Amino acid sequence: MASDLELTPTSYINHHLTNLTTSLGEEPFWTLHVDTLLMSIILGVLGMGVLWLVVRRATPGVPTKRQACVELLVEFVDTQVKNTFHGNRHTFIAPAALTIFVWVLLLNTMDLLPIDIMAWIYEHVFGLHNWRTVPTTDVNTTFALALSIWLLMIFFNVKVKGLGGWSYELFCTPFGKNPILWPLNLLFNIIEYVSKPLSHSLRLFGNIYAGEIIFLLLGMWAATGVTGSFFSVILGAGWLIFHILIVTLQAFIFMMLAVVYLSMAHESH
């Protein structure tokens, strides 16, 4: 196998961003991205497990640093939900928003780990080739998350408004209930419903994937010589600081869009 330095830029990027997959059938649809699934499950259990342990050991007196950190996180998410969702947010919406934010933030944070070091660990310690460390650089992950929110949106539309009320909205909004306008209203709403999971998923995927590629390109620049190494370190440090903001911001945006979509499902037009 050629070393990383012998690979072309395209093959180098593909080498690091290719999934470890397994097939359950002959069709591509039944292909599972093992690395994406395992990393998502591990990070999800880790994040929720830590929060559960901290909350379980919480005391009414002076909080520990861990408890104070979790309380600030919960209060921050609850405030954001309160400003958007007008109803009993504590039964489902706020806990779901907290889960989404923590999970997506952990998935994105894996992008801050050194790519070559992690690749060396996977290959030489675990014997794994082409292991993807960042689940959100896989569009299947972001689309699955967005599709889950989309299905919840459909569920709450039917639960809150009833099947008849939701059908009425599909055919009679936004242009009115005149039967002549029903096809136009339905077409408009179908486009809106299809665009929501697509934009929701591709926004997160595009930002994290692009950040991963920039890290790879900066790493390749360091292999060109002393000048490349110098500028690679300087620009890499700057991009790392900026990317920390992107990682957090994208998790926040994904959470807020989920809250907005679920809030819209509870409102009647």
Active-site residue set: 199, 203, 207
CA distances 140 to 36, 53, 94, 265, Å, are: 9, 30, 25, 25
DSSP classification of residue 21? E
Reading the block at residue 226, the tokens are 């002393």
CA distances 257 to 150, 199, 205, Å, are: 11, 10, 15
Reading the block at residue 96, the tokens are 């779901």
| Residue of 13, 9, 49, 7 whose CA lies nearest to 213 | 13
| Bond prior to 197 in cis (omega within 30° of 0) | no
DSSP classification of residue 189? H
| Residue of 259, 148, 100, 135 whose CA lies nearest to 208 | 135
